[in-house]
Amino acid sequence: MAESADFLRSMSIATSGLRAQAGRMRVISENIANADSTAQTAGGDPYRRKVPTFSSTLDRSLDAQVVALGRIKPDTSSFRVKYEPGNPAADTSGNVKYPNVNSLVEMTDMREAQRSYEANLNIISATRRMIQRTLDILKA
């Protein structure tokens, strides 16, 4: 049945989106958790923000494009620097480097990832409802 293949294709594409967005949310959570961390050694570099990427691949068994979490790349922007001479992570000038994480940006990205996750979940739910209706019609 061509319809069952279409249902399977829809569910598989949405499932790939769920996995990709879940991975994105894990990376964002790690960024938020480390937003105020400092280096382990005086004058060292703190946590560097990570940026998730996505890749699209052809699933030959479905003959459909699916999405996956791609490489996790470091954000090369500058660290925040604060003058805190009493901090154990301070360099010889009294400056402390803080991660290049902006919590507002991370929360915005998290909300976007959640919405994308929910959209994929809605596709799976709608597909399941269509499958159930089709089965109900076949039973009648």
Predicted confidence (pLDDT) at residue 112 exceeds the cutoff of 80: yes
Residue pointed to by tokens 């949310």 = 25
Assess whether pLDDT exceeds 70 at residue 59. Answer: yes
Q: Where does the pLDDT of residue 3 fall: very low under 50, low under 70, confident under 90, or very high at 90 and above? A: low
Mean pLDDT of 14-30: 97
Burial category of 73 from C-beta neighbours within 10 Å (exposed 0-12, middle 13-18, buried 19 and up):
exposed
C-alpha angle with apex 99: 98 to 103, nearest 5 degrees? 110
Q: Residue 17: which H helix or E strand, with range?
A: helix 2-33
Residue boundaries of the structural domains of the chain: 7-139
DSSP-assigned letter for residue 61:
T
Spell out the residues 6+ positions from residue 12 whose beta carbon is closer than 8 angstroms to its own: 59, 62, 64, 66
What is the model's pTM? 0.86
Q: Which pLDDT does position 126 carry in this prediction?
A: 94
How many whole angstroms separate alpha carbon 60 and alpha carbon 4? 17
SS3 label, residue 1 = coil
Q: Can you spell out the DSSP letters for 82-136? A: EE-TTSTT--TTSEEEE-S--HHHHHHHHHHHHHHHHHHHHHHHHHHHHHHHHHH
